[in-house]
Chains A and B, each alone.
Chain A
């Protein structure tokens, strides 16, 4: 595709349920990032991958959050046993390579936990 895509765009779930958020990066992009963004704030780093290898997961809030990118392309961010505080915009971005290359952001998934 032409850009980064994310699905679903909106997700409403009940507290305690698991959710899986998908990111499809720009074809050929090596690096893929997951962020969480509150309204009017900058993106909060969660984790990122180079190819299929998870480079840094220090931003994941707790062990309910996990991410994978098994074939170095599509990535899934999974939140287990969701809580209301998990409600946020989750954004994915990809970039071509290292060294300050531009990050291209997806449209985000708005997660609401009721």
Chain B
């Protein structure tokens, strides 16, 4: 079983729609990161959240860290085809840089 469960596994939407993807665990994380990966490339960091309840915005992307630091969500407003990719969450366990990734959400935004 995955330490971090991401949902949905696949998501296909039309340009302009809003969406939310989730990252859940029964474990508490010192910090949690969201990455985006395009085909043939390595993951690239979008954001790091460290405080329970923290909300960070990155243009049309809004990231939230759960109060108990066990879960997180990523909301995209007015999705664009350029948002297409694999969205990964990664949690830091044991406060020793021991990072674990979820399986990812594969997002496709159709023009």
Q: Is A65 part of the binding interface, using a Cβ–Cβ cutoff of 8 Å?
A: no
Closest chain-B Cβ to A95's Cβ sits at a distance in Å of 7
A108's contact among B6, B42, B48, B106, by CB below 8 Å, is which? B42
Q: Are B103 and A98 in contact, CB atoms less than 8 angstroms apart?
A: no
Q: Are A106 and B33 in contact, CB atoms less than 8 angstroms apart?
A: no
Q: Are A99 and B104 in contact, CB atoms less than 8 angstroms apart?
A: no
Q: Is B43 part of the binding interface, using a Cβ–Cβ cutoff of 8 Å?
A: yes
Determine the main DSSP class of B at the interface with A: strand
Residues of B within 8 A of A42 (CB): 6, 86, 88, 101-104
Residues 85-114 (chain A) with a chain B CB within 8 angstroms: 91, 93, 95, 97-103, 105-108
Q: Are B97 and A95 in contact, CB atoms less than 8 angstroms apart?
A: yes
Q: Are B98 and A56 in contact, CB atoms less than 8 angstroms apart?
A: yes
| Number of B residues with CB within 8 Å of any CB on chain A | 28
Q: Are B98 and A48 in contact, CB atoms less than 8 angstroms apart?
A: yes
Q: Please encode chain B, from 80 to 92, with 1 for each CB lying within 8 Å of some chain A CB and 0 for all others.
A: 0000001010101
| Number of A residues with CB within 8 Å of any CB on chain B | 27
| Interface positions of A (Cβ within 8 A of B) | 31, 33, 35, 40-45, 48, 50, 55-56, 91, 93, 95, 97-103, 105-108
The 9 nearest A-B residue pairs measured at CB: A105-B42, A100-B31, A98-B97, A42-B101, A102-B45, A42-B104, A42-B103, A43-B101, A100-B48
| Interface positions of B (Cβ within 8 A of A) | 6, 30-33, 35, 41-45, 48, 50, 86, 88, 90, 92, 95-104, 106
